[in-house]
Structure formats: C-alpha cells, structure tokens
Structure 1
Amino acid sequence: MNGRRGGDRSGGTPTGETSGRDWRTVGLVAGATLISTGLAAYEIVPASVTPLIRDSLGVGSSAAGLLVGVMFGTAVVTSLPAGAVLDRTDTRRMMTLAVLALFVAGVWGWIAGRSGSYWSVITSRAVGGVAYVVVWNAGIDIVSRAVSAGSRATAVGIFTASGPVGFAIGQGTGPLVAARFGWPAIFLAFTGVPLLGLLVFLPASRGLGGARGDAPSLAEFGTVLRNRTVWLAGALGFLSYALYLFINSWGSSYLTGEIGLSLAASGLLVSVFPAVGLVSRISSGLLSDRVFDGRRRPVLLGSFLIAAPLMLVFTRLGSIPLLVAVLLLSGFAIQLTLGLSFTYVREVVESHVAATAVAFQTSVGLAGAFLSPIAGGAVVDAAGFDVAFLLFGALALGGIALAWRAPEPVAG
C-alpha cells in the first residue's frame, strides 16, 4: 500500500531571500535540537545517580528505576493526543509552553527531592514526560515543514540525534552535578539548556508552525489509525526502540556477569552503543536523501539486516575488541531506523495529519522502549542471557520482514 508524501508549498524567491531563509532554517533546526537535547538529558539523568536516590529516599531498585520509566510511560499515553493538538494549533507556541513546563517540572523535582517526597518527584517527572513528547513531536513537525523534501530526512535525522547526545550528557554529568550540589539538583541542571535553545528557535521559526486552516477532522484523524503503512512504520519503530533499550539496559550486566568486567568498564564499553547514534541518526537521512535518491526503504531494511545477525551472535563472542566492534556496529544499525522512521511515517499520510502520524510513531516506539527492559529482564532471570539475546535477535529478523514490505512514499 503506497502512502502519500505531504507536498511542499514553495515558489521562486530572490537569491538574498533564499540565503536568509537558509540561515533561519539552520537556526530553527539548531534551536529545536538544543531544546530536545536538554530534555533527553533531563530524562535519563536519574539513572546516573541511582544509588544516591535509593539511599536518600529509602526506595528499592524498581522504585528508583521508575524515575526514568515514568517519562516513557507518560509519553506513550500522551503522544497521540499531543499530535492531534499539534495538527490544530501553533507549533511554536506549543514548543514554548513545553519548555516552560519543563522548567516548572525541574524546580518542582528539585524541591521534592530535597524534602524527600518520592511521589512528588514522580509527579514532577510525569509533567516532564508531557513536555518531552510535545517537544519531540512538535520539533519533528516544524523541522519537516521548514526543510525542502530533498533535505528533510537529513534535517530530521539531526534533530533526532538530540536523543543520544542528551543521554550521553545526562549520564556523564549527572554524578558531577550531584557531587557538587546534591542529587536533587540534577532535575534543575538541564532546564537551562532548553531555555537557551528556545532563544535560538523562536526568532528562526517566526512565520512557521502557525495554526493551519486544514486541520484534520475526526474522520481524517481516523485515517491515520486505519493506514496500514502507518502501522508498519510504528512496528518498525517499536522493534528498533525495543532493541535499543534492551542493550542499553542489559548490556552492562552481561559484560559484568558473564564476561567478568568491572561495572565501570562495562558501563564505559556499553556507552559506545547509544553514543554512535549521533552519527547514525544523522547518517540515516543523508543515506536516504543523497545515496538512495530520497528512497526510505533501503535504509530501513539495511538497519535490520545488519542488526539481526549481530544480536544473534553477541553472546558467542568472548573477545573484548570484538564485543566493542559489535556494540558500535549494532548501535549504528539500530539507530538508523530510529532516525528515519519519523520522516517516513509523516510522508505516508496527507500533510495535514502529519503531526498526528509522528505522534502515533512516538507513542508506539516508546512503548517498545518502556516494555523492552522489563521483558528482557524477565527473560534473563528465567532463561539467561543467551536466550534473551536470541529472542531479541528474532525480533530483529521480524524487522527485516516488515522493512521488506515497506512501500516508498509517493510524492503528491
């Protein structure tokens, strides 16, 4: 089933005006990416100081883990409603409100952490989860609308690279912030980054992202949910996020428990897996736009063709250099789909429901991120790492079958 790529409304413009627009586009992408990077750091940072949180609040591992997981869970529930709102309102205004909501959530979490109120911290993180999903969906929407079709996947790939960059910043600097100012300060530390990004984003995006007169009706909204290609793209995102979070969550435990490395060494080695996403998510768009002449399917298919065998053989490798190479290559391959699928899904629907399609993709993908560490842990406990990696390798094989059936968007 072929979808339709949302059309671009463009005409001839003088050279000077075009140059000015190019610089505004750079500012828009840079500002949106900076906002999202700060949010990603805020999202993951509690994981970097889990022992401090457990001791301070007197909670167990699962309760401490919920400080990260609650944001994924909130995003799954609120993404689709947020997308429907974005199709009907001013994207710039929604981005602004989301950044301000994050600032409130950061202050709230800091105060709640200092007072030792666990559930108040959780609630503040839920508010941050809503801010995250609005920024993610709105950022993809406005970046896609601002960039020409020939560079769209590249620009969206740059924006989605904010995820692994933010994760790396949060994981690396969280302990330093906690040591200097106390662990509750981690919730405040990254709220300034989105505010700085907003200062870049707002002037660059002036005139873009306004409320559209062709906002979808309820019936047209339903066409997104009835579109088979949208569901196929969602399934690809679900599988990619599941693979991504499984290795992020359990790779270090495998290297420590099965290979015998120290926890510090294991964490350092596994960090290369998300870190390579900076290259991968940008490359996904460049490969699609430049190497494959705008075709999306070859990149989606190649992502799973590379990832599947690497997952299947992972526990058969005893050499540290080989494991590092596999982590790098699998991290690169899996995140190709994470970078491109958001461009793909908005191109297989009509342009006026594109934000809703992106929101659907976010919701389904993050469901994979939410469930994967839980399901992976259950399999590890019940049957061991060999079976767990084989199971997730089988999921990657399923991704090959789905990507093989993925139609190319049709310009319209």
Structure 2
Amino acid sequence: MSAPGVAAERELPAYRWVVLGLIMGVLTVANIGPMGLPALAPLLRDDLALSRQQAGSFLSAYYVGSLVMAFPAGWLADRLGVGRTMIIGQGLVAAFLVLMALTPSYPLLMLAVVLAGIGYGMVNPTSTKGVMIWFPARSRATVVGLKQTGLPLGGALGALLLPALAGPLGWRGAVAVSGAVVGASALAALWLYGEPPRPEAAPGAPAERPSVRTVLTNPSLWLVSCATLLFAAVQVAWISYLSLYLQEVLGLSVVVAGFYLAQGQTTGTLGRIFFGILSDRLFGGRRRIILVLAGSLSGCLALLMTTVSAGTPGWALSLLALGFGLVGIGWNGVQHALLAELAGRESAGTAVGLGLAVSALGVILGPPLFGLVVDRFGDYRWGWYSLAAGMALALALLAPVKESRRRVWE
C-alpha cells in the first residue's frame, strides 16, 4: 500500500508519529458507532419494540464478530499488508453501520452489528502490527498502549455524541453519520498509511515468511493468550458488576456508583500508556514482568473488594476503583507487544489475532460466570474470590513463558 504525497516523509522519524496518530484515529472512529449503541438503547427499544435483554445485547454481538475475525485478520495483515487489511476492515464497519441505520427489525440489526464487529476484528490486530513495524523495539509497548486508548475513547465519544445527534436526526441518522465518519477515516488511511521498508535479511539467511503453523505451535504464545483470557474475564467482570455491587451492597445511588466506575475506566485508559512506558523504559523492554505485576495487584485488589461494607469511606472506594482500573485494565498494550514479539515481524499480525481471539472468550464468559458464582453462593464476596483465583491461575500460566525467545526486530 503506497500513500501518495508522503513517500518522501517516510524515511523521517517524524512520519512514524503520523502513523501512530492515524491509527489511533482509526480505532477511535471505528468504535464510536458500535460502542455508542448502548447510549441509544431507549430509542431503539421504542422504535423496534425490543425487550430489555434485546436492547442490552449489542456489545456482545459486536464482540462475537470481532472474536470470529481476529485470527484470520492477523493472518491477512501478514499476507496482504497492514494498510490493505485495515482499510478493508474500516470499509466493513462503515457499510454495516449504514445498514444498521436502514434495518427494519431486530434480527437484521443484530446481523449488522455482528458484521460490523467482523470489520473491527480486522482493524484491531492489524493496527497493532501497523504501529509496531514503524517503531523501534525500545518504544513499542508505549506506542501500542497509546494506540489501544482508541477503544475506550471511541466508546466515550459514542456515548456522548450519538445521543446528541439522535435529537435532530433520530437514532438512525446518528448511526448513519458514525458510519460516514468511519468511511472518511478509511479514505484518510488509504492516503496516509504506507508500509515501512522491510529490513534486509542477513547474508545467507533465509527470508522470514508469515507462518500460521509457527504461531500455532509456539507454546509461549498459547500460554500468554490463555493467561490474558483470564485477565480479560476479570477485567470485564469487574467493569460489569462494580456499579451493581455498590448499589446492592452499599446502597449507593446509580450516579455515585457510576462515578466510581468512571474513575476506574479513566485510570484503565491511562494505564495502557503507563505500563507501556514502564515496560520500555524501566524494565528494558521486558513484557512478562508487567503482566505478572498487573495480575498480582489485580488479584490483591479483588481480595480487598471482599472487605468493602456500608461503612467504607468514599476515599477508600476511590482508591480501590482507581487502583483496579490501573492494573486490571491497563495491561492490554503490553499483551499486544509481547504476542507480536514472540512471533516476529512477519507473523506479528497472526500472533496478535490469535491472542485477541482467545482473550475475547474471557470478555464473553467472564461476566456471566461471575454472576453465576454470586447467584449460587448468594454473596458477592465469592465473586471477588473467583476473580482473585482467576488471576492466580493466569500467573501460573505466565510462569513458563519463554520471553528470552522473543524475536525482537528493529
């Protein structure tokens, strides 16, 4: 993929920051429409006569589509290149957002949401490789962490902008506008994104080729993927149930409980950058130790949640929310960097796609399993114990990871 008008700039270090800004924008814009659908749920319920369960099912459908496509998309990025794969994914998201705006029924709406998720499933692992091949090893976890802030930022913008647009345009008009914006970002990527020059192979060394088999037979990749499945399950269970827990057990209002959740979401977004810097600068590019640190602290904070009661002061609740958000959500960028480096440059997309596909199972299964535990024992404390146990198992899976075998490229 060649980007006219910027070819001369590509040799300059400054161009890599253009790439990072572009990809952050791509991720942010791609998530405004799908992640903003919950904010439009009351309007959708009225228009399509949806049940509460149906109105709350959009994000699950979106993640199912992303899960289905993550691994094939990584392979496509390795084969076709980052630019082509990312633009195809954006095109799918844009097209199916417009289809959502035109759909007359719930089944067709859900189909469009799943297909938009498939488009996003092409963008996410591809974008990780897209920034990593442009930056040196010493800063990769940092830039991937920056890139990964696009998802929560897109969700926040969707929750803010779509209801505002729905006032004059209706929910269909708001969703259609979000699709048009994704289409515009695809055109920007077509113009601005270019693949960096491939590094020359050492004399006599065979050229490295993308290999699905190499990825699927790498034990460390599977260990990291399964460990971060548990990380993801713990993260999304905490996000899903914190407000409910604070309302039911502590008697807080919806607004106050939401305030504590917002604190955790904020530090979670910042944590993606913080842990990237920590890995690149303080730990000399080591990744596993960051996941171990984040997992250990998440498990400890889950245990501390069992001590919360109606008498717990607000500042203590804030510390718990801020702390868990930082360590329980902020690990994501380091995970991407480790997966890519374990596979090497030519198979980085496939490896990240595998990791995202596996960890997405945690996103889907974590909240209902947490709820099942709480319902079974009739006490939220057992839910928090289960999160701590999940993190302990994740740390055990990380222990044998051969980080020394990372194929770090410059």
Task: Report the TM-score, using the length of structure 2 for normalisation.
Answer: 0.88
Aligned sequence identity (%): 25
Within-5 A mapping of 1:281-296: 281-296=272-287
Contact 1:76 1:366 in 2 (8 A): yes
Distance 2:155 2:69 in 1: 22
Residue number in structure 2 paired with 1:385: 380
Residue number in structure 2 paired with 1:10: none
Is 1:25 the counterpart of 2:16 in the alignment? yes
Within-5 A mapping of 1:328-339: 328-339=322-333
The structure with higher relative contact order (CA 8 Å, sep 6+) is: 1
Is 1:308 the counterpart of 2:299 in the alignment? yes
Contact 1:234 1:360 in 2 (8 A): yes
Distance 2:65 2:305 in 1: 32
Residue number in structure 2 paired with 1:364: 358
CA shift digits 1:359-380 (9 cap, x unpaired)? 0011011111111122222223
3-state SS of 2:80 partner: coil
Q: Structure 1 residues 369 and 62, CA, compared in 2 at 3 Å: closer, same or farther?
A: same
Within-5 A mapping of 1:190-205: 190-198=178-186, 200-205=188-193
Residue number in structure 1 paired with 2:160: 172
Residue number in structure 1 paired with 2:144: 156
CA shift digits 1:275-306 (9 cap, x unpaired)? 22221111121111111111112211110121
Is 1:280 the counterpart of 2:268 in the alignment? no
Distance 1:89 1:333 in 2: 35
Is 1:341 the counterpart of 2:332 in the alignment? no
Is 1:70 the counterpart of 2:61 in the alignment? yes
Structure 2: which amino acid aligns with 1:43? P
Which stretches in structure 1 are left out of the alignment for 5+ residues? Answer: 1-16
Residue number in structure 1 paired with 2:92: 101
User: Residue 132 of structure 1: CA displacement?
Assistant: 0.6
Q: 2:403 aligns with which of 401, 408, 411?
A: 408
Q: 1:397 aligns with which of 392, 395, 406?
A: 392
Is 1:140 the counterpart of 2:131 in the alignment? no
The more displaced of 81-90 and 147-156 is 81-90
Is 1:352 the counterpart of 2:352 in the alignment? no
Q: Structure 1 residues 109 and 209, CA, compared in 2 at 3 Å: closer, same or farther?
A: farther
Residue number in structure 1 paired with 2:319: 325
Q: Structure 1 residues 179 and 396, CA, compared in 2 at 3 Å: closer, same or farther?
A: farther
Contact 2:261 2:321 in 1 (8 A): yes
Contact 1:141 1:354 in 2 (8 A): yes
Q: Structure 1 residues 192 and 292, CA, compared in 2 at 3 Å: closer, same or farther?
A: farther
Which stretches in structure 2 are left out of the alignment for 5+ residues? Answer: 1-7, 199-206
Residue number in structure 1 paired with 2:3: none
Task: Report the TM-score, using the length of structure 1 for normalisation.
Answer: 0.87
Task: Kindly report the root-mean-square deviation, in angstroms, between the aligned alpha carbons of the 2 structures.
Answer: 2.4
